[in-house]
Every structure is written in C-alpha cells, then in structure tokens.
Amino acid sequence: MFAPTAGHYARSAVCARSRRWLGTAAEAAGGALHARLKADLKTAMRSKDKTRLGVIKGVLADIVYVEKSPTGGSAFSRDCDADVATVLQRAVQRRRESIQAFSDGGRQDLASAEAERLDVLVGYLPAQLSAEQIEERARATIERLGVAGAKGIGPVMREIGISPAEAPKSDVASVVKRLLGSSP
C-alpha cells in the first residue's frame, strides 16, 4: 500500500496551497509585510478601529485578488515584501485619485475620510525614493547602457532596478523620459 511521506506532501501542489491553512513553519515565517498586516488586522479588530480595519481588510483582499488572478497570480507571492508593497502602492494611488476627485467635486468630508485611509496605507509602505535618488539611479543606468533618445526608454526602464515598491513606475518613467529628451 502506498504510504505518503512528509516530503510527498511538501511537493504536492494541492498540499502547498493547504499548508497555509494548517499553519506550518513556512507560513509562520511568511513575508514580514504580510504578517504585519495580519497582526494589525487583529489589533484593529480588538480596538474597534473601523478606519484601520477597513483599510487593512481592503489591502488583504487586494492581495488575495492578485494571487488568484490568472495574469499575475503565478508571479505574485505574499511572502515577498516587494510584491505586497506593489499592491500597497496601487492602493495608495487609488486613494490619491479619490481624494483629488472628491476635492474637485466639492466633497471635503469624503476627501478627509480618504486622507485618513491614505495615512494608514502610507504607514505600511517601505521608504520611498526621492526624486533626486530616482534621477541619480536613472543617470547611472543611462550612462552604463550608453543610450539616448526615445528608443532608450525601454532598455533603461528594464535595467534601472527600481522596484515599484520603492517608487511608482510612472514617476520613474517620467524621470527617464526627461533625461533622455522625450516629452513626459
């Protein structure tokens, strides 16, 4: 009779998904940012902090959505802080757009509520690169690759090595376009 070993379960794709529900050491050691979100979720529930609770639940739901999406789910890992920070970066961008829309519409009450939620999200993001740091790294990459003009944007963006968690891609792209002489 076939008797599966512990190694057999570890290699099984079905069990790999089940391990997180069983609470193995691999799950307990997960990504620091994801673990911090889960711990803060419990704290927010206990303290009945509705704003923080809603924001954290939303981010955790976004993480699950990205994990299960057919396009990006295979490359995403909740154990990788850079991947989780990218999800947080998108949530921050959505909040900023909402604040702008509410302000333009004359709804300062909703804009201030979104600003509170934005403050919670920003607290989870890793340190962001300043515009000067982005420009410095972009200049170094451009010099190393020896490219110029609009055709150099793609190679520079691939080689620059700035994670979306460190700075939004749109900010990096605008700096690269400016340095290469293209209109942003």
Is residue 61 within 8 Å of 141, Cβ to Cβ? Answer: no
pLDDT of residue 75: 79
HEC readout, 29-88:
CCCHHHHHHHHHHHHHHHHCCHHHHHHHHHHHHHHHHHHHCCCCCCCCCCCCHHHHHHHH
Closest CA to 169 of 111, 86, 97: 86
Residue type, 85: A
21, 56, 108, 152, 165 from 29: Cα distances, Å: 14, 20, 42, 41, 21
Cα distance between residue 99 and residue 96, in whole Å:
5
pLDDT digits (tens, 9 = 90+) for 3-50: 444 443 333 333 333 333 333 333 444 468 899 999 999 999 999 999
Arithmetic mean of pLDDT, 138-151: 85
Which structure tokens are listed for 68? 């299960």
Percent of the chain with pLDDT over 90: 32
pLDDT at 67 over 90: no
The secondary element (H helix, E strand) that includes residue 116 is: helix 108-122
Domain annotation for the chain: domains and CATH numbers: 1-30 (no CATH), 31-122 (1.10.1510.10), 131-179 (no CATH)
pLDDT tens-digit profile of 146-173?
A: 888 778 888 888 888 887 778 888 888 8
**Alpha-carbon distances, residue 151 vs 143, 157, 180 (angstroms):** 15, 11, 9
Give the distance from CA 68 to its chain's centroid: 16
Is the pTM higher than 0.75? no
